Amino acid sequence: MKLLVLAGGFGTRLKSAVPDVPKALAPIGKVPFLEFQLENWLKQGLREFTFLLHHQADQTINFLQAQMKDKLKGCQVDWLIEPKPLNTGGAIAHAVKELSLNNDFLTTNADTWLGGGLRDLMQAASPAMAVVNLADVSRYGQVHFDQINCVTEFAEKTNQISAGWINAGLCYLSADLFNDWNGEPFSLERHLFTKLVKKRILTAVPLQTEFIDIGIPADYYRFCSWVEGGRQFPL
Protein backbone atom coordinates (compact mmCIF):
# COMPACT_ATOMS: atom_id res chain seq x y z
CA MET A 1 0.00 0.00 0.00
CA LYS A 2 1.35 3.42 -0.99
CA LEU A 3 1.47 6.23 1.57
CA LEU A 4 1.34 9.81 0.27
CA VAL A 5 2.97 12.06 2.88
CA LEU A 6 1.94 15.71 2.92
CA ALA A 7 5.19 17.54 3.70
CA GLY A 8 5.08 20.76 1.70
CA GLY A 9 3.64 23.27 4.16
CA PHE A 10 5.36 26.47 5.26
CA GLY A 11 5.18 25.71 9.00
CA THR A 12 4.43 29.33 9.83
CA ARG A 13 3.13 28.69 13.37
CA LEU A 14 6.23 26.68 14.30
CA LYS A 15 8.78 29.22 13.02
CA SER A 16 9.46 30.71 16.44
CA ALA A 17 10.64 27.31 17.72
CA VAL A 18 12.04 25.76 14.54
CA PRO A 19 13.10 28.55 12.16
CA ASP A 20 15.49 26.84 9.78
CA VAL A 21 14.00 23.51 8.70
CA PRO A 22 10.64 22.20 7.46
CA LYS A 23 8.20 21.06 10.15
CA ALA A 24 8.77 17.41 9.33
CA LEU A 25 12.48 17.80 10.07
CA ALA A 26 11.99 19.59 13.40
CA PRO A 27 14.68 18.21 15.74
CA ILE A 28 13.58 15.95 18.56
CA GLY A 29 16.82 16.03 20.49
CA LYS A 30 19.24 15.29 17.65
CA VAL A 31 16.80 13.25 15.57
CA PRO A 32 14.49 14.79 12.92
CA PHE A 33 10.80 14.24 13.63
CA LEU A 34 10.40 12.53 10.24
CA GLU A 35 12.84 9.83 11.29
CA PHE A 36 10.50 8.84 14.11
CA GLN A 37 7.65 8.83 11.60
CA LEU A 38 9.52 6.54 9.22
CA GLU A 39 10.33 4.08 11.99
CA ASN A 40 6.68 4.01 13.01
CA TRP A 41 5.37 3.52 9.46
CA LEU A 42 7.89 0.78 8.75
CA LYS A 43 6.96 -0.95 11.99
CA GLN A 44 3.35 -0.99 10.78
CA GLY A 45 4.35 -2.66 7.52
CA LEU A 46 4.50 0.16 4.96
CA ARG A 47 7.19 0.02 2.27
CA GLU A 48 5.95 2.45 -0.42
CA PHE A 49 6.20 6.20 0.17
CA THR A 50 5.72 9.32 -1.93
CA PHE A 51 6.50 12.64 -0.23
CA LEU A 52 4.56 15.68 -1.46
CA LEU A 53 6.89 18.64 -1.12
CA HIS A 54 7.09 22.38 -1.75
CA HIS A 55 8.59 24.63 0.95
CA GLN A 56 12.29 23.84 1.61
CA ALA A 57 11.90 20.69 -0.46
CA ASP A 58 15.65 20.31 -0.92
CA GLN A 59 16.18 19.70 2.81
CA THR A 60 13.55 16.95 2.89
CA ILE A 61 14.97 15.35 -0.25
CA ASN A 62 18.47 15.32 1.23
CA PHE A 63 17.12 13.67 4.36
CA LEU A 64 15.23 11.03 2.37
CA GLN A 65 18.23 10.25 0.18
CA ALA A 66 20.28 9.56 3.30
CA GLN A 67 17.51 7.39 4.75
CA MET A 68 17.31 5.36 1.52
CA LYS A 69 20.78 4.07 2.37
CA ASP A 70 19.66 3.16 5.89
CA LYS A 71 16.13 2.82 7.25
CA LEU A 72 14.45 3.04 3.85
CA LYS A 73 16.78 0.62 2.11
CA GLY A 74 14.70 -1.78 0.05
CA CYS A 75 11.62 0.48 0.15
CA GLN A 76 10.01 2.25 -2.79
CA VAL A 77 10.55 5.94 -2.11
CA ASP A 78 9.95 8.96 -4.32
CA TRP A 79 8.77 12.55 -4.05
CA LEU A 80 6.96 15.25 -5.96
CA ILE A 81 7.52 19.00 -5.71
CA GLU A 82 4.36 21.06 -6.15
CA PRO A 83 4.73 23.75 -8.83
CA LYS A 84 2.87 26.08 -6.45
CA PRO A 85 1.29 25.63 -3.01
CA LEU A 86 -1.73 23.41 -3.68
CA ASN A 87 -3.13 22.90 -0.17
CA THR A 88 -3.83 19.37 1.06
CA GLY A 89 -6.35 18.32 -1.55
CA GLY A 90 -4.50 19.87 -4.45
CA ALA A 91 -1.23 18.23 -3.40
CA ILE A 92 -2.89 14.81 -3.36
CA ALA A 93 -4.68 15.43 -6.67
CA HIS A 94 -1.37 16.49 -8.21
CA ALA A 95 0.24 13.26 -6.99
CA VAL A 96 -2.62 11.14 -8.33
CA LYS A 97 -2.18 12.76 -11.73
CA GLU A 98 1.62 12.70 -11.87
CA LEU A 99 1.91 9.13 -10.58
CA SER A 100 -1.02 7.87 -12.70
CA LEU A 101 -2.58 6.34 -9.59
CA ASN A 102 -5.71 4.30 -10.25
CA ASN A 103 -6.35 2.47 -7.00
CA ASP A 104 -6.65 3.04 -3.24
CA PHE A 105 -3.87 4.67 -1.24
CA LEU A 106 -3.13 6.11 2.20
CA THR A 107 -2.32 9.72 2.92
CA THR A 108 -1.07 11.42 6.09
CA ASN A 109 0.48 14.63 7.40
CA ALA A 110 4.23 14.54 7.90
CA ASP A 111 3.92 16.62 11.07
CA THR A 112 1.19 14.56 12.77
CA TRP A 113 2.18 11.66 15.00
CA LEU A 114 -0.16 8.67 15.25
CA GLY A 115 1.17 5.77 17.26
CA GLY A 116 -0.75 3.20 15.21
CA GLY A 117 -3.90 2.56 13.25
CA LEU A 118 -2.79 1.87 9.69
CA ARG A 119 -4.15 -1.67 9.64
CA ASP A 120 -7.42 -0.59 11.25
CA LEU A 121 -7.90 2.08 8.60
CA MET A 122 -7.14 -0.25 5.69
CA GLN A 123 -9.77 -2.70 6.93
CA ALA A 124 -12.41 -0.06 6.19
CA ALA A 125 -13.74 0.61 2.72
CA SER A 126 -12.35 3.79 1.16
CA PRO A 127 -12.99 6.64 1.49
CA ALA A 128 -12.21 6.52 5.20
CA MET A 129 -10.48 8.74 7.73
CA ALA A 130 -8.90 8.01 11.10
CA VAL A 131 -10.33 9.92 14.03
CA VAL A 132 -9.08 10.27 17.60
CA ASN A 133 -10.84 11.46 20.74
CA LEU A 134 -9.38 14.51 22.52
CA ALA A 135 -10.32 16.27 25.73
CA ASP A 136 -10.06 19.63 23.91
CA VAL A 137 -11.00 19.87 20.23
CA SER A 138 -11.08 23.69 20.05
CA ARG A 139 -7.90 23.83 17.96
CA TYR A 140 -9.21 21.34 15.40
CA GLY A 141 -12.99 21.30 15.16
CA GLN A 142 -14.99 18.11 15.52
CA VAL A 143 -15.92 15.14 13.36
CA HIS A 144 -19.41 13.79 14.02
CA PHE A 145 -20.39 10.30 12.92
CA ASP A 146 -23.31 7.94 13.48
CA GLN A 147 -23.65 4.45 14.92
CA ILE A 148 -22.27 2.82 11.76
CA ASN A 149 -19.31 5.27 11.69
CA CYS A 150 -20.61 7.23 8.70
CA VAL A 151 -19.35 10.83 8.97
CA THR A 152 -22.33 13.17 9.25
CA GLU A 153 -20.74 16.56 9.91
CA PHE A 154 -17.54 18.55 10.32
CA ALA A 155 -17.99 21.17 13.05
CA GLU A 156 -15.90 24.34 12.82
CA LYS A 157 -13.25 25.32 15.37
CA THR A 158 -14.53 27.25 18.39
CA ASN A 159 -13.00 28.96 21.42
CA GLN A 160 -14.94 26.66 23.72
CA ILE A 161 -13.03 23.76 25.29
CA SER A 162 -14.89 20.49 24.82
CA ALA A 163 -14.14 16.82 24.21
CA GLY A 164 -14.81 15.06 20.93
CA TRP A 165 -13.47 13.31 17.86
CA ILE A 166 -11.14 15.00 15.39
CA ASN A 167 -9.66 14.19 12.01
CA ALA A 168 -6.33 12.49 12.83
CA GLY A 169 -4.80 13.37 9.47
CA LEU A 170 -4.59 9.76 8.23
CA CYS A 171 -6.92 8.82 5.36
CA TYR A 172 -7.64 5.91 3.03
CA LEU A 173 -8.74 7.24 -0.36
CA SER A 174 -9.32 6.16 -3.94
CA ALA A 175 -7.71 7.82 -6.93
CA ASP A 176 -11.00 8.35 -8.76
CA LEU A 177 -12.04 10.93 -6.14
CA PHE A 178 -9.58 13.32 -7.81
CA ASN A 179 -10.42 12.69 -11.47
CA ASP A 180 -12.12 16.07 -11.96
CA TRP A 181 -9.32 18.18 -10.43
CA ASN A 182 -8.94 21.53 -12.21
CA GLY A 183 -5.31 22.13 -11.23
CA GLU A 184 -6.11 24.65 -8.49
CA PRO A 185 -5.39 24.46 -4.75
CA PHE A 186 -8.11 23.05 -2.52
CA SER A 187 -8.56 21.71 1.00
CA LEU A 188 -9.09 18.00 1.47
CA GLU A 189 -11.34 18.49 4.52
CA ARG A 190 -13.23 21.65 3.60
CA HIS A 191 -13.89 20.75 -0.03
CA LEU A 192 -13.61 17.03 -0.84
CA PHE A 193 -14.70 15.65 2.53
CA THR A 194 -17.76 17.89 2.76
CA LYS A 195 -18.91 16.52 -0.60
CA LEU A 196 -18.39 12.96 0.61
CA VAL A 197 -20.37 13.72 3.80
CA LYS A 198 -23.32 14.94 1.73
CA LYS A 199 -23.22 11.65 -0.18
CA ARG A 200 -22.86 9.74 3.13
CA ILE A 201 -19.89 7.74 1.86
CA LEU A 202 -17.08 8.87 4.22
CA THR A 203 -16.30 6.43 7.03
CA ALA A 204 -14.76 7.39 10.38
CA VAL A 205 -12.32 4.87 11.88
CA PRO A 206 -11.91 5.60 15.62
CA LEU A 207 -8.40 4.90 16.91
CA GLN A 208 -7.11 4.47 20.44
CA THR A 209 -3.49 5.55 20.02
CA GLU A 210 -1.08 8.41 20.69
CA PHE A 211 -1.79 11.55 18.69
CA ILE A 212 -0.05 14.89 18.42
CA ASP A 213 0.26 17.55 15.74
CA ILE A 214 3.60 19.32 16.26
CA GLY A 215 2.52 22.34 14.19
CA ILE A 216 2.60 24.75 17.13
CA PRO A 217 5.50 25.28 19.57
CA ALA A 218 3.64 24.02 22.66
CA ASP A 219 2.86 20.66 21.08
CA TYR A 220 6.27 20.39 19.46
CA TYR A 221 7.89 20.79 22.90
CA ARG A 222 5.39 18.31 24.36
CA PHE A 223 6.43 15.69 21.81
CA CYS A 224 10.11 16.39 22.61
CA SER A 225 9.40 15.87 26.31
CA TRP A 226 7.48 12.65 25.57
CA VAL A 227 10.42 11.19 23.64
CA GLU A 228 12.99 12.39 26.19
CA GLY A 229 10.87 10.80 28.93
CA GLY A 230 11.01 7.42 27.24
CA ARG A 231 7.42 7.69 25.95
CA GLN A 232 6.23 6.65 29.40
CA PHE A 233 3.40 9.17 29.85
CA PRO A 234 0.35 9.89 27.67
CA LEU A 235 0.71 12.48 24.96
Report pLDDT digits (tens) over 134-187.
998 888 889 999 999 999 999 887 777 889 999 999 999 999 999 999 999 999
> Is the peptide bond between 127 and the residue preceding it cis, with omega within 30 degrees of 0?
yes
Q: CA-to-CA distance for 188 and 4, rounded, in angstroms? A: 13
Q: CA-to-CA distance for 163 and 174, rounded, in angstroms? A: 30
Alpha helix segments (H runs only) across the chain: 33-43, 57-67, 87-98, 118-122, 194-199, 217-228
List the chain residues with pLDDT less than 50: none
Residue 228 is predicted with a pLDDT of 92
